[in-house]
Amino acid sequence: MTDTTPADSQDYLRKRAFYDSLLTIYGRKPVLEALEDLSLPVHKLHLADSNRRDKLIERIEALAAERHIEIVYRSRRELSRISKNARQDQGVALDLALPHYGTAEAFLHEPKTNYELLAIDGITNPQNLGMIIRSACAGGMDGILLPRKGCAQIDPLVIKASTGTVFKMRLLRCEKLAPTLSAFKQRGARICGLSSHAPMTLSALEENAPTIFVLGNETHGVSDAVDELCTHRLRIPMHNGVESLNVAVTAALIAFRERPSHSNPV
Amino acid sequence: MTDTTPADSQDYLRKRAFYDSLLTIYGRKPVLEALEDLSLPVHKLHLADSNRRDKLIERIEALAAERHIEIVYRSRRELSRISKNARQDQGVALDLALPHYGTAEAFLHEPKTNYELLAIDGITNPQNLGMIIRSACAGGMDGILLPRKGCAQIDPLVIKASTGTVFKMRLLRCEKLAPTLSAFKQRGARICGLSSHAPMTLSALEENAPTIFVLGNETHGVSDAVDELCTHRLRIPMHNGVESLNVAVTAALIAFRERPSHSNPV
């Protein structure tokens, strides 16, 4: 963008921020439910022109018309490119313009004194990812770092398991987790890996710096590349010799833990 | 048993306590995994005589022989009566004599000054039940009241989701939940229903009496019959307008909450 004028450049950044906030969901039921939720800002509806017209499709078209949402009819192949999931899109995709959906990079450049994030490291089970989002949202975490590589992505199963909180939670996308965590660390964030064998307990962590809690894979834990970056390794003490918790339960215990400076909802 | 001599009566009570502690599991993989866990006391292995002999069955028989466990070969019909699930037993059932598996009635008659239990009210999703057991076990709850009516029962899915903690947690069986809670209430227990609309928060609950936390159905919450018995209705405060948590997450936040008198694991 070196050859653009400042005005053009601003325009580009605005456009880029807008496109970064687009989340494309797909599948007839998830799209219908999103259209029915008037709190969700919708950008565009994409329909395959090969769709057989049934009640769900008619209801989707009627809702879009009612809400003055642009409908674009596309070839089956074009639609697959938009949904990125030809097998499950059922000929329907919807771009949501979510104010809370953005990039890790944008978050990193915001002026912030303190924050707490979760980072997803190799979590592949969509149900667990959805439940993590639900717990983090209810517990008031400031965001979730979600890498494109090696993790479940926002799909109908995740949306369902999140019970709609995926649209409220600040999701910070990145390509790979380790370089992103490295950038946060350089700017003063603590990187805390959760591990059942860590010597320090979660409740012993003092509140004095921006903090990212890394949730590792359900079986293998935090990845090696990320483990090397960790400034802290934390454990949740357990009774009865239990060795691990469900990862969404871990997320909840982090998000809901008592913190003196954290404003609690009433 | 009125016509038995005192000695016979004692014998009867001992036998009854033993049979009350039996948990019959079924399915080739769950049974094999249970046999491989040497910490699980096994009573008897039941095999359908119609079973085709494959590697799993051979491994199950070899393990049982190694552990000197009685093997009983049965007709397909007899086996269904034992597993109570002909569709999923795969011709294999195993009686575990679990020291922690018993009845609510037995627990009620033990001398106890204080305890905290969870009660399951209409939770039908086996994955949620398994995760509740895992969270409660790790968080050090004293037991879980599990009614036979209207709830998921201990089956292979529950065992899997519990990651084996079902064999460590004290599970207190009863027929129906409301009459059982009523008996506990008469003996001084507080009955606390969790509900997102309750005025009191979980953390405001003082620690001064035996307490049973009731977890209601995923969609409909605590049942009417149980709600009437509640001495307290409690809410977990949430951010971002989130209305509910996954029921296993709720169980974890109860079990892991900070309590001055509760001994924490190290």
Q: pLDDT, tens digit, for every residue of B27-76?
A: 998 899 889 988 788 999 999 999 988 899 999 999 999 999 999 999 99
Q: Give me the residue from B131, B240, B266 closest to A138, CB to CB.
A: B240
Q: Does residue A263 fall inside a structural domain? A: no
- Asked which of B97, B125, B143 is the last residue of a domain, the reply is B97
Range(s) of the domain holding residue B193:
103-255
Tell me: do B52 and B125 sit in the same domain.
no
Q: State residue B98's pLDDT score.
A: 82
Report helix, strand or coil for B160.
helix
Tally of structural domains, chain A? 2
Tell me: do A92 and A211 sit in the same domain.
no
Nearest to B172 by CA among B228, B105, B82: B105
Indicate which CATH number applies to the domain containing B121.
Answer: 3.40.1280.10
**DSSP letter string, chain A:** -TTS-HHHHHHHHHHHHHHHTEEEEESHHHHHHHHH-TTS-EEEEEEETT----HHHHHHHHHHHHTT-EEEEE-HHHHHHHHS-TTTSTTEEEEEE-TTEEEHHHHHTS--S--EEEEE-S---HHHHHHHHHHHHHHT-SEEEEESTTS--S-HHHHHHTTTGGGTS-EEEES-HHHHHHHHHHTT-EEEEE-TT-SEEGGG--S-S-EEEEE-BTTTBS-HHHHTT-SEEEE---STT-----HHHHHHHHHTS--TTSPPP-
Q: Contact A134/B266, CB-based, under 8 Å?
A: no
How would residue A12 be classed by pLDDT, with cut points 50, 70 and 90? confident
Tell me: do B91 and B116 sit in the same domain.
no
Neighbours of A231 (CB within 10 A): 13
Q: Contact B256/A244, CB-based, under 8 Å?
A: no
Tell me: do B228 and B122 sit in the same domain.
yes
Query: Which range (A7-16, B92-101, B151-160) has the least confidence?
Result: A7-16
- Asked which of B48, B78, B97 is the last residue of a domain, the reply is B97
Q: Does residue A15 fall inside a structural domain? A: no
Write the DSSP symbol of residue B167.
Answer: G
Q: Contact A245/B169, CB-based, under 8 Å?
A: no
This model of the complex carries an ipTM of 0.84
Q: Does residue B134 fall inside a structural domain? A: yes
Tell me: do B149 and B38 sit in the same domain.
no
Q: Give me the residue from A236, A239, A265 closest to B238, CB to CB.
A: A265
Residue A100 has pLDDT above 90, yes or no: no
Reported as a single tens digit per residue, the pLDDT across A184-211 is 999 999 999 999 889 999 999 998 899 9
Q: State residue B261's pLDDT score.
A: 62
Quick check: B193 and B214 in contact, CB under 8 A? yes
Q: Inform me whether the C-beta atom of residue B139 falls under 8 Å from chain A C-beta atoms.
A: yes
How would residue B111 be classed by pLDDT, with cut points 50, 70 and 90? confident
Tell me: do B149 and B251 sit in the same domain.
yes
Q: Does residue A265 fall inside a structural domain? A: no
Q: Does residue B16 fall inside a structural domain? A: no
Tell me: do A124 and A232 sit in the same domain.
yes
How would residue B10 be classed by pLDDT, with cut points 50, 70 and 90? confident
Region A163-178 average pLDDT: 93
Tell me: do B35 and B64 sit in the same domain.
yes
Tell me: do A135 and A247 sit in the same domain.
yes
For A171, phi then psi, to 5°, come to: -105, 125
Tell me: do A119 and A195 sit in the same domain.
yes
Q: Does residue B4 fall inside a structural domain? A: no
Tell me: do A37 and A115 sit in the same domain.
no
Cα–Cα distance, A152 to A149 (Å, whole number): 9
Q: Contact B256/A258, CB-based, under 8 Å?
A: no
Nearest to B125 by CA among B49, B259, B216, B195: B216
Quick check: B233 and B118 in contact, CB under 8 A? no
Q: Does residue A17 fall inside a structural domain? A: no
Tell me: do B80 and B114 sit in the same domain.
no
Q: Does residue A16 fall inside a structural domain? A: no
Q: State residue A264's pLDDT score.
A: 61
- Asked which of B73, B97, B121 is the last residue of a domain, the reply is B97
Indicate which CATH number applies to the domain containing B46.
Answer: 3.30.1330.30
